[in-house]
Amino acid sequence: MPFFTPGDDPGPSFSSLVRRLGLSPETPSSDVGARLAVTHATTVVAIRFVDGVVIAGDRRATSGNLISHRAIEKVFPADRYSGVAIAGAAGPAMEMVKLFQLQLEHYEKVEGSQLSLEGKANQLGQMVRSNLPAAMQGLAVVPIFAGYDLGRQTGRLFQYDVTGGRYEESNHASSGSGSLHAGTVVKLGFREGLTRNESVDLAISALFQAADEDSATGGPDLVRGIYPVIATITAEGFTRVPDGEIADRFTGLLDVLASREIGITRLPENSTETGGDQR
Edge-to-edge strand ranges of the sheet holding 61-63: 66-69, 61-63, 40-41, 88-89
| Cα–Cα distance measured from residue 201 to residue 252, given in angstroms and rounded to the nearest whole number | 9
β-pairing, 154-160 vs 144-149, is antiparallel
Q: Please report which confidence band the pLDDT of residue 232 belongs to, taking 50, 70 and 90 as the band edges.
A: very high
- Helix, strand, coil % (nearest 5) of the chain? 35, 25, 40
Is 232 known to be catalytic? no
Per-residue burial over 131-167, b if 16 or more Cβ lie within 10 Å, else e, is: beebbebbbbbbbbbbbbbeeeeebbbbbbeeebebe
Tens digits of residue pLDDT in 176-219? 999 999 999 999 999 999 999 999 999 999 999 999 999 999 99
Catalytic residue among 27, 39, 42, 239: 42
Note if the bond before 163 is cis, omega within 30 degrees.
no
| Cα–Cα distance measured from residue 189 to residue 201, given in angstroms and rounded to the nearest whole number | 10
Residue ranges of domains in the chain: 35-258
Class of domain 35-258: alpha beta
Q: Please report which confidence band the pLDDT of residue 39 belongs to, taking 50, 70 and 90 as the band edges.
A: confident
